[in-house]
Amino acid sequence: MNTSIHDRKAQAGVGLIEILIAVLVLSIGFLGMAALQTKALSNNNSAMDRTQATIASYSILDSMRADRSNALAGDYDGTVTVGSCPAVGGTLASVQLNRWCTGSGNTPPDGLAALGDGTTGEVDCDGNGICEITVTFDDDKATGGSNAQEVVTRARL
């Protein structure tokens, strides 16, 4: 009879250790899930930036198609940088390039301005109506790659 009482004393506290280990394992699992969610959110933001760059390149292409003769003449060719956008001149091309660079003033911003300061957009058209739009932006949220991202769109006017 003394043996059974002594055995119970030896077993005291084992349930608490099991609970402590279970809580530790669950905590590590929850931390892993939180890290996974953080990485997914970061990659989702990077994908949104690439989508914004694609939309911006389509936007200037549509403007160039509306002003095809000036686009073929090279009025749109060149590089614009957010933060030092070209001034509006007397041509439709200068107005469109300024608008492409600065956005329309809407919230949230659009055009190249949606991608932040330092974003560049380059337009290069040949005489046959084939244009290449290159949008370069800083994607500091990128994982496993370079911060400088580039989206290149080639299209015929």
Q: Show the 3-state SS of 47-100.
A: HHHHHHHHHHHHHHHHHHHHCHHHHHCCCCCEEEECCCCCCCCCCHHHHHHHHH
The residue segments making up the domain with residue 145 are 2-156
**pLDDT tens, position by position, 90-144:** 889 999 999 999 887 676 777 888 888 889 999 999 988 899 999 999 887 666 6
User: Which tokens belong to 92?
Assistant: 């439709």
**pLDDT tens, position by position, 33-71:** 999 999 999 889 888 999 999 999 999 999 999 999 999
**Tally: H helices and E strands in the chain:** 4, 4
C-alpha distances out from residue 66 to 62, 92, 93, Å:
6, 10, 10
The alpha carbons of the chain give a radius of gyration, in whole angstroms, of 29
pTM listed for this prediction: 0.76
User: Are the CB atoms for 53 and 115 separated by under 8 Å?
Assistant: yes
